[in-house]
Structure 1
Amino acid sequence: MPSRKGRKKQQRLPFTLDKDLQKEILAVLLIAMGGVTVLALLSVTKGAVSEAWILFLRRIFGWGVYLVAVALIGGGVSLLWEDLQERFPIGARGVLGLEVLFLSLLGLSHLLAAPEDAFKLAERGGGGGYIGWAITYFLITAVGRGVSFLLLLLAAGGGLVLALSVEWDQLTTVLGKAKARLVDLSAPPEPDEAPAVVEKARKRQPRKAAAPEPQQKAPVTVRRPPRGRRLKRLDRGLPPLDLLNGGNDESYGDADVRYKKQVIEETLRSFGVPVEVVEISQGPTVTQFGVEPGFIEYSGSNGSVRRRKIRVNKILALQNDLALALAAAPIRIQAPVPGRSLVGIEVPNTEVSLVGLRGVIESSAFGDIRSTLRVALGRNVAGHPVAADLALMPHLLIAGATGSGKSVCINSLTACLLFSNSPDDLRLLMIDPKMVELTIFDGIPHLLAPVVISTEEAVRALRWVTLEMDERYRLFSQTETRNIDTYNELMASQSKEALPHIVVLIDELADLMMVAPDEVERHICRIAQLARATGIHLVIATQRPSVDVVTGLIKANFPARISFAVTSQVDSRVILDSAGAEKLLGRGDMLYMASDSSRLVRLQGCFVSDEELGRLVGFWRDKIDWIEGQAEPSFPWDEITPAQEEMDELLPQAIEVARGRSSISASFLQRRLHIGYPRAARLIDQMEDQGVIGPPEGAGRSREVLIDEYDLQEDNDGAYSE
């Protein structure tokens, strides 16, 4: 008989689980855990338990949590699918190799991601987590950083060999083949006699028979499309894009984006502002978190529970608290994001990525603009390239503090124009009072004159541009055309010379405004108002965007503007009519206002190095032999007659005012023409030179008018005739 103790044990275990059922239950649990982990990592599901589980795994394994999730699902599937174990057997050696490889990767990721604060990175769930931190800490303490990197690489390679079950003989065979392949590649090429024979055969074959021609042309038609753009560039004599450094296609942003997202949500929630980050856009300079305001529940007068959406002003008021919690300043809040029901919180990245000019030029955003005056601006907060057409702007005003990136922006704009235009299509006039920024372009055939560095010469250059604009309008009137495009089409149909576009680049407007503010402002405003149809465009930069430099008339005629980092909110309002530029980070970080939109777009401007500019300028200097018109004067405005140079635009109106009067004075001209006293006095002197009025008769007395209302002096060299 069974004993009494044995009967008690049998009563405690009324049923038993067989081994297959236990294996299936374990497999389902592993797959469920892996699935929950994957969903939580992808932010598909949220909850206190899942967030705690993910935080635990991140702190232990860091970025290796994704491999852990895959391993959980893979382990469960292998337990359920017995045939899978037979097809892909993984023994103890393979498991050991995978573990060694996994631990080595954790150590490498932490070693490369955290050069200084390694433990803080592990606490945030980055790098290799606590495991990666422990491995790198002991290795660096023992043998140093460089040797630790090599040891981890060797360990990863050994783990991979163990996991793949590669024998030593197989490994030596593979290494031998790789060595032989490298030797073959490094050997000098043999004389290419065979290709020469093939070339001759291809040339002679069409003469013998016409039937084989399709067989010879077939490979040619296959090879042309990928290189069609480059062949077209070389045929037009334009520089290739190989002069620029390679494009930068890396992904932008920080690795701890999830941590910043959690900090933003928790910080705002702690102040009674529930929000949810529903969109993250990573750019080269900042990362924009798209925040959707939540609801606040409150009880109504009848006891019912009502919901009210959070006001945007509450989020704006917590800007400094967010900057403190994220340990990042300055933070810019865009409320709301244009066209979206979100509030954009722009947080600076830990490291600013460089935006290469070539990467933007090769993008579809630049290629889709069908214009020879297209320019690359940079990349937005989402990392997408942004380009614009200078012909549609049609003028551009750039402002920013010293060292914020204005000159680099002008260099990149000029480089874009030089890549797309020959000297027959585009002429440049560069004014650089600082004497160091634009002088690198001296010697290229596109220049109308050497780079102007004197402020006096700059005023004469602007006067010449005004006269050139008037001359072009006279040509349009004679040919009954409306703009430069229709005029050039007419000239092309008649096999005559076309008019090139003219782009005037001024690197510092403040210096010109200090020397001759009235004349400079008058010429700039007149060019900006009328020069679009004539193909003349202005690009003006200044580091002092104050109201005495960027006047209201200048702003009104420059709808397209770029603002880099400025020192105060007042300067930001002067250039952009809104605040925001004072919170930029500098070094190419800018706000762009397009001519057809009032909303601001944050960009990281394109960077072009001096070495790249040197190669581009050298390309055009080598081409100067075939450029026609080398006999032109060094300064086109040297041909301006003294009467044209000194004549004020209001001189004909001043003569009309004086005609029929016995005397006239400067104060009278002030009242009638609504001008200042200096300009009125200058008009009095010019009228005296033309013989319209007599010499001064004494201090403060009026001048005698020498012409009557029937005296028309049209033969005076055309000085004031219309």
Structure 2
Amino acid sequence: MLVLSLLSPNQGQLTSFLSQGMWHLFGWGGVIIPIALGIGGFYLVLWGMEQPPTLPYLRLLGILFLFLAFEAFASLAVVTWNNGLTDVMATAQEGQGGGYVGGLIVRSLTLVIGRLGAVFLLLVVGIVAAILTSGVSRQDMGLFLGGLFKRKAEDDEERDILINRGSSAMTTGQSPAFTGVESGKNDEASVPATQEKTRAGSPSRRKRKAQPAQQPQPAANGEQEQIVAPSPVFLNQVDSQIWTLPKLEEMLDPGSEQDIGDAYIREQVEIIEHTLESFGAPATVVEINQGPTITQYGVEPNFIVMRNGKRTKVKVGKIASLADDLALALAARSIRIQAPVPGKGYVGIEVPNSDSVLVSLRDVMESAEFQHIGSPLRIGLGQNVAGQPIATDLTQMPHLLIAGTTGSGKSVCVNSIVACLLLQNTPENMRLVMVDPKRVELTGYNGIPHLVAPVVVDLERVVGTLQWAMREMDNRYKRLADLGVRNIGEFNKKVAENGGEGMPYIVIVIDELADLMMLSPEETERGITRLAQMARATGIHMVIATQRPSVDVVTGLIKANFPARIAFAVASSTDSRVILDTTGAERLLGQGDMLFQSPDAAAPLRMQGCFVSEKELGTIIDYWQGARRSARTTIAEPAPQLPTTEEEEPPSAAAAPPQPPEPAQQPLWEDMREEEEKAAKYSDELLPEAIDMVRQLGKASTSLLQRRFRIGYTRAARMMDVMEEDGIIGPPTGTSKAREVLPWKAEEAIPENQEKS
């Protein structure tokens, strides 16, 4: 309505009042305000109030100052300085320029700092406001300005070099132009040095110098991509000077404080003591620990008088059996009783808080407990029942098993562990192998330089992934033995002393173990067990999660090799025993409430897990994806190729190598291609039986296979071809006789998985 009132020639009383007020107050800027209001209303109509637009306060401040600077410049545009400042308010009265707002700004600034000072100040304010509005960070501005000054210095350096060459040519009696052509071959050693300086300085300048005028742009880009990533499978490995760790305060948000009133705590204490006394188990609350989700009340059993007159303390088991009665009295969802608390002289009654708070990963990583751990694979888990941060070292676990039902916080825990590792490690000292059969939890990490290969989503390739990890483990053990060291830490230290390159840690993250165990239980269990038993010294660690903690998924062999476990809320005490060998997980609240069984602890520790939002994860992933692209641009820059003769032509766009594809689902490692092709040959389920039959009979023919297995000619002929290719049977004799069987090679033709199946 405001826009129509401003543009309509015929106006009513209301629209006339609105339009005149907008023109007089804001002048030309009066058109911007109703348009902005209309855009905001249109957004709310489409998306509703569920997703209100969120703008940082600095950006809002930048928009405000940018609008005020526009108003002031609009007033300056219509003011005639012959009559001084009197024209400012006159134009505002007519609705011209910036209205009364712009006129007042111009009038005030001109009276204080003069006309030129006002113009300069408004320019500075406008530039700063534009920067705040665009959201450009101070680091980006510093890099941009530094690049400008560096480019200027490089131009001066190149000019000095050209002047020195010209002066040297004049002293030898030759013209500079003649020197540049005739002595081009003699100066080949000096040209790359200058080009190298230019290449290390400004990417935009090196692109111009590396391409002649007639060379299309795509050819240079393709050449860069070919140098960085010649294989579409492996991710690039670049120099250590490129990677810089992200700043914690820029990636993660701080947590909020929790405030529980003393009156509420006293009321809870009275209810607990009264309930216990009414059930014949008198006790006194001696300690209170407030956590983010629960509050632990430390209860010390009192004495009771027996029938014989003796005084004896209440049994701990009697207090533990009153969990349901206490939950009823406190009107709590669930109560867990830890009887007794390890190392304490009381029984812990854990009562859910009326208002729970989220535990920020940033608060845990900034804590002294986290900083005290000196390992590169330290991870923040959360806060315990007393609100103290809990951190641990993945290298000491050395593997972690996570289990819990859907919605209990299992996936958030996995993401927080990965985020914690990405915030502390560059791709040089830590690499990731991720398996996500559900295709929704870990696929967002595709494109970060830490990944050995794209996230595995095909179940058929998981066994090959575990086999690759076992081969990598064996290769690392050979390298450790060659240097005479025992673990990866000693290896990297010794190699660094000699100026060599160390081995990075490898963390294998599997989001859903149940799907793998259903597809190939024997191979999956064997691979995970062998890695869990032997991979610690080589720097390979596993983080495995499952939402079905049953005995056929978390087998006894797997559980025995995973002493560090995390249990989220589960459906029954049976599932809790599968994970922790004890009950308690069935009484958890969900939403990050968990029990952590440390390898060196006697009992599980209850805590609230760290929460990492989708926004924070996206910020971390975007940072490393941008760092990878920056590394590819910096390292992959080809040396400029300048034609030395007129006959030489620059490479055409058609001759440029193709761009490497984006990370997609493909064989992870090149040797897996051979395994997949070999497995494809033995996809026929009757092939092992056919091999056994021809070995027993000593002869083989297509008609024999057709009769014995009642199959068609095509299938029987295909099995004959496979057996001939693998050396089980001889070539065709050219007659109707059966083929010869070669029993001494028959053992090699059956893969291990087919033979066991």
Unaligned runs of 5+ in 1: 1-187, 193-232, 649-662, 666-684, 696-702, 714-722
Q: CA deviation at 1:292?
A: 0.3
Q: CA RMSD in A?
A: 3.6
Q: Distance in 2 between matches of 1:457 and 1:267?
A: 57
Q: CA deviation at 1:246?
A: 3.7
Residue 614 of structure 2 corresponds to residue 606 of structure 1: no
Q: Distance in 1 between matches of 2:598 and 2:259?
A: 24
Which of 486, 491, 507 is matched with 1:487 structurally?
491
Could you say what secondary structure the match of 1:333 adopts? strand
Cα 1:487–1:608 shift into 2, 3 Å: same
Q: Distance in 2 between matches of 1:467 and 1:664?
A: 36
Equivalent residue number for residue 499 of structure 1? 503
Q: Distance in 2 between matches of 1:573 and 1:529?
A: 22
Cα 1:706–1:287 shift into 2, 3 Å: same
Equivalent residue number for residue 425 of structure 1? 429
Which of 659, 669, 686 is matched with 1:638 structurally?
669
Given residue 247 of structure 2, which amino acid in structure 1 is its aligned partner? P
Q: After superposition, give the CA deviation of every residue in 1:485-509 in whole Å (9 maximum; x if it has no partner).
A: 1111222122222111100111111
Residue 249 of structure 2 corresponds to residue 242 of structure 1: yes
Cα 1:706–1:397 shift into 2, 3 Å: same
* Identity in percent: 52
Which of 514, 517, 523 is matched with 1:513 structurally?
517
Q: Distance in 1 between matches of 2:724 and 2:287?
A: 70
Q: CA deviation at 1:484?
A: 1.0
**1:643-662 mapped onto 2 (5 Å cutoff):** none
Residue 441 of structure 2 corresponds to residue 437 of structure 1: yes
Q: Is the 8 A contact 1:463 1:645 kept in 2?
A: no
Equivalent residue number for residue 539 of structure 2? 535
Q: CA deviation at 1:468?
A: 0.9
Q: CA deviation at 1:334?
A: 0.3
Higher relative contact order (CA 8 A, sep 6+): 2
Q: How many residue pairs are counted as aligned between the two chains?
A: 444
Equivalent residue number for residue 295 of structure 1? 303
Segment of structure 1 superposing worse, 266-275 or 560-569: 266-275
Equivalent residue number for residue 566 of structure 1? 570
Cα 1:367–1:272 shift into 2, 3 Å: same
Q: After superposition, give the CA deviation of every residue in 1:535-554 in whole Å (9 maximum; x if it has no partner).
A: 01100000000011111111
**1:9-24 mapped onto 2 (5 Å cutoff):** none
Residue 343 of structure 2 corresponds to residue 336 of structure 1: no
Q: Is the 8 A contact 1:464 1:637 kept in 2?
A: no
Segment of structure 1 superposing worse, 364-373 or 622-631: 622-631
Cα 1:633–1:323 shift into 2, 3 Å: closer
Q: CA deviation at 1:431?
A: 0.8
Q: Distance in 1 between matches of 2:287 and 2:599?
A: 28
Q: CA deviation at 1:329?
A: 2.4
Q: Distance in 1 between matches of 2:245 and 2:407?
A: 32
Equivalent residue number for residue 228 of structure 1? none
Q: Is the 8 A contact 1:444 1:620 kept in 2?
A: yes
Q: CA deviation at 1:458?
A: 2.2
Cα 1:641–1:389 shift into 2, 3 Å: closer
Could you say what secondary structure the match of 1:260 adopts? helix
Equivalent residue number for residue 288 of structure 2? 280
Equivalent residue number for residue 194 of structure 2? none
Q: Distance in 1 between matches of 2:242 and 2:261?
A: 44
Cα 1:275–1:641 shift into 2, 3 Å: closer
Q: Is the 8 A contact 1:412 1:608 kept in 2?
A: yes
Residue 328 of structure 2 corresponds to residue 324 of structure 1: yes
Q: Is the 8 A contact 1:331 1:583 kept in 2?
A: yes
Which of 538, 554, 557 is matched with 1:550 structurally?
554
Equivalent residue number for residue 420 of structure 2? 416
Which of 240, 245, 266 is matched with 1:258 structurally?
266
Q: CA deviation at 1:633?
A: 11
Q: After superposition, give the CA deviation of every residue in 1:78-117 in whole Å (9 maximum; x if it has no partner).
A: xxxxxxxxxxxxxxxxxxxxxxxxxxxxxxxxxxxxxxxx
Equivalent residue number for residue 226 of structure 1? none
**1:383-402 mapped onto 2 (5 Å cutoff):** 383-402=387-406
**1:125-274 mapped onto 2 (5 Å cutoff):** 237-248=244-255, 250-251=257-258, 253=260, 255=262, 256-274=264-282
Q: After superposition, give the CA deviation of every residue in 1:644-680 in whole Å (9 maximum; x if it has no partner).
A: 67999xxxxxxxxxxxxxx999xxxxxxxxxxxxxxx
Q: Is the 8 A contact 2:409 2:590 kept in 1?
A: yes
Q: Is the 8 A contact 1:249 1:359 kept in 2?
A: no
**1:466-485 mapped onto 2 (5 Å cutoff):** 466-485=470-489
Given residue 521 of structure 1, which amino acid in structure 2 is its aligned partner? E
Q: CA deviation at 1:439?
A: 1.6
Q: After superposition, give the CA deviation of every residue in 1:412-460 in whole Å (9 maximum; x if it has no partner).
A: 0011101110011111111111111112211111111111111112222
Q: After superposition, give the CA deviation of every residue in 1:155-206 in whole Å (9 maximum; x if it has no partner).
A: xxxxxxxxxxxxxxxxxxxxxxxxxxxxxxxxx89989xxxxxxxxxxxxxx
Could you say what secondary structure the match of 1:420 adopts? coil
TM-score when normalising by structure 1: 0.57
Q: Is the 8 A contact 1:464 1:636 kept in 2?
A: no
Cα 1:512–1:442 shift into 2, 3 Å: same
Q: After superposition, give the CA deviation of every residue in 1:260-282 in whole Å (9 maximum; x if it has no partner).
A: 10001011111221110000111
Given residue 539 of structure 1, which amino acid in structure 2 is its aligned partner? V
Q: Is the 8 A contact 2:273 2:284 kept in 1?
A: yes
Q: Is the 8 A contact 1:252 1:284 kept in 2?
A: no
Q: CA deviation at 1:234?
A: 11
Given residue 434 of structure 1, which amino acid in structure 2 is its aligned partner? K
Q: Is the 8 A contact 2:596 2:604 kept in 1?
A: yes
Q: Distance in 1 between matches of 2:615 and 2:338?
A: 37
Q: Is the 8 A contact 2:409 2:591 kept in 1?
A: yes
Q: Distance in 1 between matches of 2:674 and 2:447?
A: 31
Q: Distance in 2 between matches of 1:341 and 1:425?
A: 44
Equivalent residue number for residue 713 of structure 2? none
Given residue 670 of structure 2, which amino acid in structure 1 is its aligned partner? E
Could you say what secondary structure the match of 1:423 adopts? coil
Q: Is the 8 A contact 1:253 1:287 kept in 2?
A: no
Q: Distance in 2 between matches of 1:330 and 1:324?
A: 9
Segment of structure 1 superposing worse, 493-502 or 260-269: 493-502
Q: After superposition, give the CA deviation of every residue in 1:208-249 in whole Å (9 maximum; x if it has no partner).
A: xxxxxxxxxxxxxxxxxxxxxxxxx99961000123444226
**1:696-711 mapped onto 2 (5 Å cutoff):** 706-707=743-744
Could you say what secondary structure the match of 2:407 adopts? coil
